[in-house]
Amino acid sequence: MIQAFYDVHYLFDVHENCFNPPPKVKSGVIKMYRKANVEPMKSQRYFVTVVKTAFNQRRKMLRNAVRSLFDSEVLEDPIFNQRAEQLTVKDFAALTFRMR
């Protein structure tokens, strides 16, 4: 979702000893720059809806995860045979124009 609206640059790692108590995950610092031009989409609301819905069940095929957002004819498109993490920002933006 962030990649649609921002360019993200990884800056550096933060050592776990910098936290109390130390977390069991690695941490890092990023810097985000707002994009001047974003992919064309029907609306940001539609984009957020389709991305969140797709990634709520990301191990499922896209067709099963977003079934409630599209008509059955649209769901026959081969793009729906992929998983959410296989799609690009451009793919998700294009899907917003095909939502109910």
Domain boundaries, the chain: 2-34, 44-98
pTM of the model: 0.86
pLDDT, mean of residues 70-90: 96
- Could you please state the CATH topology (level 3) that the domain comprising 44-98 is classified under: Helicase, Ruva Protein; domain 3 (1.10.8)
Q: What is the pLDDT of residues 23-79, one digit of tens each?
A: 999 999 999 999 999 999 999 999 999 999 999 987 899 999 999 999 999 999 999
Tokens at residue 64, please? 């099963």
